[in-house]
Chain A
Amino acid sequence: MSSVASSSSLVAEAQLQTMIKTRRKLPSFYASLGILGTFLVVIVICIWWFGANIGGSIFVRDLPAELQTRTKLYLTSDSPIPEPRDLNCTFHNYSCSEVHHCGYDDSTTISVYIYPLQQYFDEKGNDITPPMSREFEEILRVIANSPYYTNDPETACVFLPSIDLLNQNFINPDQVGKILASLPWWNDGKNHILINMLPGSPNNYHDHLGVNMSKAMVAGGGFSTITYRRTFDLSIPVYNPLLEGVELTAKPFEEERRWFLLSSQFGLHATYKAQIEALTKAESTVMMMDQCDSQNFNYSIRCDYMGHQYSYPEVLQDSTFCLVIRGNRLGQPTFMDVLMAGCIPVVVADGYVMPFSEVLDWTRASVHIIEEHLPIVYDILKKYSPERIVDMRRQIHYYWQRYFKSLPEITMMMMQIFNDRFVPFVAKNSDEWNDLPNKAAFKSPLFLPIKAPKAVGFTVVILTFDRIDSLFQVVRQVGRVPSLAKILIIWNNQDIKPPPLADWPNIGKPLKIIQTKFNRLSNRFYPYDDIQTECVLALDDDIVMLTPDEIEFGYEVWREHPDRLVGYPSRLHLWQNDTQSFSYESEWMNQISMVLTGAAFHHKYYSFMYTYGMPGNIKQWVDEHINCEDIAMNFLVTNVTGKAPIKVVPRKKFKCPECVKEMLSASSSHMVHRSECINMFIELYGGMPLKPIEFRADPLLYKDNLPGVLRKFRDLGTL
């Protein structure tokens, strides 16, 4: 202990010199140096005195009052100490943790109880409370102010002793053991979290916190796979307070870096140093730096072998890859520097458990090589493509900002992972942890490439108001389609009752009528429980011209593309240069980007999405204006899948054979409204999801006349 102290004061002098140098540049400070000196002496005496009497810990800001009690506790030489760390503990081990207070049906957030700050004395009255660091204070503060905090130990899921174990060098393991055992809810350490970043001490660098803790969990920096109890312990980074206040200007991800590989760590083992040195001689883009002056600790500068000085951590930004090599400990604070600078860490630490590796996919943001391979690290790294390097930089930036950049992030990350363990059914999956937010990316709810089974068939949902004649005609037509499973009539008329079932055409398939409470367009997309098939055919009550062959073939196409809208009438959006907006086109063009849901197949899940998950007030707007529900559906599906709808068969007229143009679509005001819809939806979606395509789906033998071949789907209309 004493040797540490004396070298500390050496460092102190060195620091003072650095400080003086810095301050010379600032005349106002220079002027007040004298006063400052006096001030220092006073503070020193002051702290010394306070320290001697209240054990180095002082009032912790922003902690709930109940934690600030600071009572005194005396431990004797025969106070119990916990059993040694139980190596067989896993999260699911009955004897290692209790789960009955944790989450599940009441809440999906675990509750964390923090023990009030206390002072501990030994028999002789010596204060044996481990000194409290501001970093640990910060961690306590973050948890105490988080949704995880509870002040009720009776209902708490997890317990956090307010004993600072971040640096094992500052604690007396025996005393800490006694303190832990004396905690009122200790219970053999079950459900207790101990937080440690620097395990071991100079005499013996363990890779885990060397304290008797029995069944307590450790969130620790520097675990090896051997000491890490997976699902139970948690590997965390070694936070580096030397980075506080450092601001780095971000470099563009694509920008070339000056060096390919940089080593700038202090205190590297001579073996590694020699190996890296050999690399620097062989490759001009490999760089090694070290302390500028081994007597004066100065973290903010590094020197190369020529003595050229570089400011740190800025210099890390000049390299593509940065070595993070194990020192006496496996976990190195340098890792944080490298992440911050956006340099790709090349971790050389056999058996090291990467921080938060339980959830983070480090293959996307780092390189790991075994210690033996250090001499060939350059060849290994050269295999990474420039594009991959850019991707990794992006990923590092994301990880840093989200999970590492300061103690609050690290602490919350820790708690979130513990939470996921205790409440696993709400745990995030690897995409949610690792995928960069990307507006252009599609997460299709129907991602599995699969041909939907034919036997299940489809449900036709016909929205109707009062056109009984054409409705019955449609029912008769669709009733002849072999794969039809059920007809669902959505009777959107609240004043007139639907005709009694006996009056309906007898089609030999189930038919059900649902009379709605309100006349809304969105009723057509409601996910009725009566729809038991995944495939839904939305049909207007006046689409009398579709033939059973056309519908059956449409179902075939949908089965091959169950994630798309598959339909008959098609439309296109077009950019108009004169109005600088999109217009809606119903002309027969060489492209389409929408199919109208007056006759279109979709997966039932899209009914859920339409009803419960459309952006903004689109659903409400459509219901109020009684228009554009089909455009809304096309936006919805293309936006979530990135896939265009598919137009089936050549037919272009659907309602009556005589009409040149279909009635509703013909009026020009209708077209204007439709264009307005498109532009409004673009705003709500923050972009134009629709995409034009140039093809339609026809039966394989459409228009063929092959002798001896029984052609399917012959009854297709031409226009």
Chain B
Amino acid sequence: MQFKKRLLTLTLMCTTLALAAYLIYTHGILGGGSEQASNAHRRSIVRLEMPEGRQMGGGLGGASQPGSNQRSFLLDDIPGVFAQDAHPNVRDRSQGETAQDWRKCHMETCFDFDRCKNGFKVYLYPRQVPVSAPYAKILSVIERSRYLTANPHEACVFIPSIDTLDQDVLSKDYVPDVGTKLRAQPYWNGGRNHIMFNQYSGTWPDYGEELKFIEQGILVKSSMSIDWIRYGFDISMPLFAKNHPQSGGEMGYLHNASNSIPSIRHYLLAFKGKRYLNGVGSDTRNVLYHIHNAEDIVLLTTCKHGKGWEKLADERCYIDNEEYDKFDYQKLLFNSTFCLVPRGRRLGSFRFLESLQATCIPILLSNSYELPFSEVIDWNKIVIWGDERLLFQVPPMVRSVPQSKILALRQQNQLVWESYFRSVDAIINTVLEIVKNRVARHLVRPSYHWNSVPGAHVVLPEWSDIPNNFPFYYKTFGETPGDHFTAIIYATSAVTASSPLFRVLKMVAKSQYCKKIIVLWNCDVPPPPSSKWPTDLGVPVRVKTRDVHSLNARFLPFKEIETDAVFNFDEDVLITTDEVDFAFGVWLEFADRIVGYPARSHYWDEALAKWIYTSKWTNQFSMILPSAAIYHKYYNYLYHNFLNPLILSKVEEVNNCEDILMNFVVAHATRLPPIKLTQRKAHKPPDAGTPPSAVAASKAVETDQLRFQQRQECLEAFVENFGYMPLIHSSMRMDTMLYKDPVSNMRKKYRQIETVNS
């Protein structure tokens, strides 16, 4: 080997020498060439001197082969690449470019992170003058936000009450001179940490995007273009109509329409709207008739809008107008699989949100449009991108979308519609969430928070930074919830040896899945000494007396809860160990829902025009009370951190309704009904002991009535707060597999359940 190597080297040497001699002979010179080239030679030397084994790995390149190129873009410039960073001032370097031009703002240079040390707090300037209806809606969201603060000194971001929404000078809602007004704001500071909203910038004929007043503020704007947005700083929001609902809003149409494939919608692709004949954006819509076939592709435009359209009308106008009137817009929208969303004068159009709501998959024909919330939403899962330059590609493209993809697009479409767009609340809260996401760096949300069920708003990053600690992601990440639960018993009355509390304790402790029992002691007398508690329970019991004096406390995410599952009990609930075990087994299959025993329902009363709370037995239910219910511990956190503090104090005030509120929270998060178990109807022991006097009895009825009345009021207040009725009905209950079947009880696993009196 050694010998061969030397031989090879020798041969090479000779060859090279001969070659060199020949070249010298033919060219007659030795030097020559540019300086640059000779530098290259020297660098080549460097390469050759690199330690062996550090040259080329895996036979990827030609360097290891004789005669091939040794030169490297980096190794030959080591001093340049690894040069000492000696910038005179690193702060200036970072801030430099933006200091001269606010168009170059990014978060690191135009935002004071120091202001956000106390968390993400939003300060809203006091309203001074009346604002437009849409801006009033936006401000109303901020006013109800859980991030709102009244103290500007602890605020992280500021929202001016000056209406900047419409800056089209020809518009009747145009507010002049906003720049001056903004600069007069007491905390303006060049616009730093300010968020400003705009729907219309520029005007006929060029509809420019420039808004001078924003300075170093974050601009949240409809119809932003890719080259105009300060990406990662500004936010593109959807164009929403004046009558876009404040809260609640339409559900996605998939709740009413078949999600069957192949699509049974009558039309494949539809559009109906104005066209402009000339000027910005007119080209896109003017050519649509080329692919209109009046059968499965229906693209209708009209020239009939604005004053004096006849003057500009081209020969197609009259044909188009006639065709236009043949079809109803709403019918097209809900009966088409795909909807064309071409640009209008501006890039965004109302069509976009309308299509999302109708589960009509948007086909975008709006080049350079920065889609709403594109910083966080993965639009590839929702829309099909067309290109204005390739109009004729649209029909074949649409026809080639596979069925499985249509199925997925529709569902994703509904997910984002309902999470981020269905109301002004949803839109503006998304804006706040995006800004918050940038501010707290360690809480930056991964994309699955935004782009998978249930959507980012109900997934609080402060709770956990891994998917496993949420009830929503077990299946998608191939994980399962833990195999034990923690019991929470809420105790309000003094105990004796025969107290129901001790009965519940024993029943629960016997469950093989019980890891720990936490007793929340909210009672005038202190808890009995540990000697009085049942012994030999086999599981640890913690009694907490601090901070449990509100009913909300039964849903506190105590750090002592180490399991994924929390089983909440009333101190006197009737329950057997079999029921506890069975419930846990069912919960494992439905880890994102409340699973339990006592059920309640609600319904809409047409005459009263409001939602009614009911505890009557009907064929369906919509709530499971946590007197005996198991659910994921994350919902405890959500209950205390997602809701507006006002609503929590409502519960505290009436000392009632916490169970209804929990059902609201979970239904809002999951859009699913809870799971009701078995036939049991009696969950409270009948009043034992001395028969109550007539007075006491009537008093009890009165309190019952009062409490019931409170619950009705709560339901109404919660609907008001959520902006819609999130509860969903279910008409089934889960029984054990052989429940009440005429087979021997010996064959049944949960025999106690068989004998429960219904």
Contact = CB atoms under 8 A, between A and B. Distances in A.
A138 B60 contact: yes
A702 B738 contact: no
Nearest to B729: A451
Contacts of A391: 466
24 contacts: A22-B52, A42-B17, A91-B226, A92-B368, A100-B389, A134-B56, A135-B61, A166-B73, A198-B77, A372-B108, A385-B466, A407-B60, A445-B407, A448-B414, A449-B453, A451-B673, A532-B264, A560-B673, A588-B738, A608-B404, A650-B741, A695-B677, A700-B619, A709-B617
Given A384-B465, A430-B378, 9 more contacts: A12-B42, A19-B50, A226-B104, A244-B54, A370-B107, A407-B61, A455-B256, A560-B673, A694-B585
A542 interface: no
Nearest to A365: B446
Interface string B443-478: 111111001111000000000111010000001111
Interface string A225-245: 110011100000011111011
A650 B619 contact: no
A452 interface: yes
B749 interface: yes
Given A22-B51, A532-B258, A604-B260, A4 B71 contact: no
Contacts of A644: 589
A288 to B, nearest CB: 15
Closest 4 CB pairs of A and B: A440-B478, A52-B33, A92-B367, A424-B385
Nearest to A390: B466
Interface string B227-255: 10011110000000000000000000011
Interface in A623-670: 641-644, 647, 650, 652
A46 B737 contact: no
A49 interface: yes
A45 B19 CA distance: 11
B211 interface: no
A244 B74 contact: no
Contacts of B23: 49, 53
A460 to B, nearest CB: 15
A556 B36 CA distance: 80
Given A387-B468, A388-B465, A134 B69 contact: yes
B63 interface: yes
A35 B13 CA distance: 10
A284 interface: no
B521 interface: no
Contact of A371 (B108, B397, B620): B108
Contacts of A368: 441, 444
A565 to B, nearest CB: 14
B90 A700 contact: no
Interface stretch (A155-163, A261-269, A500-508): A261-269
B59 to A, nearest CB: 11
A452 B259 contact: yes
A704 B616 CA distance: 13
Interface stretch (B80-88, B494-502, B540-548, B626-634): B80-88
- Secondary structure of the A contact surface, majority rule: loop
B670 interface: yes
A32 to B, nearest CB: 6
B446 A56 contact: no
Given A226-B104, A242-B75, A93 B20 contact: no
Contacts of A173: none
B99 interface: no
B479 interface: yes
A47 B42 CA distance: 10
B466 A387 contact: yes
A590 interface: yes
Given A7-B79, A61-B65, A44 B45 contact: yes
B671 A693 contact: no
Interface in A479-538: 527, 529, 531-534
A484 to B, nearest CB: 15
B525 interface: no
Contacts of A93: 227, 367-368
Nearest to B8: A39
Contacts of B556: none
A534 B411 contact: no
B13 A42 contact: yes
B735 A696 contact: yes
Interface residues of A, number: 196
B163 to A, nearest CB: 29
A269 B87 contact: yes
Interface in B322-342: none
A9 B40 contact: no
Nearest to A385: B465
Given A134-B68, A242-B74, A1 B385 contact: no
Contacts of B90: 269, 271-272, 371
Contacts of A396: none
A40 interface: yes
A202 interface: yes
B82 A297 contact: yes
A534 B671 contact: no
A292 B540 CA distance: 56
A251 interface: no
A170 interface: yes
B475 A134 contact: no
Contacts of B670: 449
A104 B107 CA distance: 37
Contacts of A134: 56, 61-63, 68-72
B126 interface: no
A555 to B, nearest CB: 11
A57 to B, nearest CB: 7
B442 interface: yes
B730 A560 contact: yes
A425 B384 contact: yes
Interface string A171-211: 01000000000000000000000000110011000000000
Interface stretch (A69-77, A125-133, A673-681): A125-133
B730 A456 contact: no
Among B369, B445, B585, max chain A CB count under 10 A is at: B585
A375 interface: no
A87 B401 CA distance: 35
Contacts of B230: 225
A612 to B, nearest CB: 9
A549 interface: no
A127 B36 CA distance: 9
Nearest to A456: B258
B390 interface: yes
Contacts of A266: 82
Contacts of A46: 16, 19-20
A383 interface: yes
B262 interface: yes
A100 B747 contact: no
B548 to A, nearest CB: 27
Among A7, A32, A455, A701, max chain B CB count under 10 A is at: A701
Interface stretch (A470-478, A614-622, A711-719): A711-719
A5 B39 contact: yes
A675 to B, nearest CB: 21
B9 interface: yes
B261 interface: yes
A8 B108 contact: no
A702 to B, nearest CB: 7
B403 interface: yes
Interface string A80-109: 000000011111111000011000110000
A369 interface: yes
Nearest to B588: A693
A647 B428 CA distance: 43
Nearest to A644: B589
B740 A703 contact: yes
Interface in B105-151: 106-109, 113
Nearest to A351: B106
Contact of A47 (B34, B44, B448, B748): B44
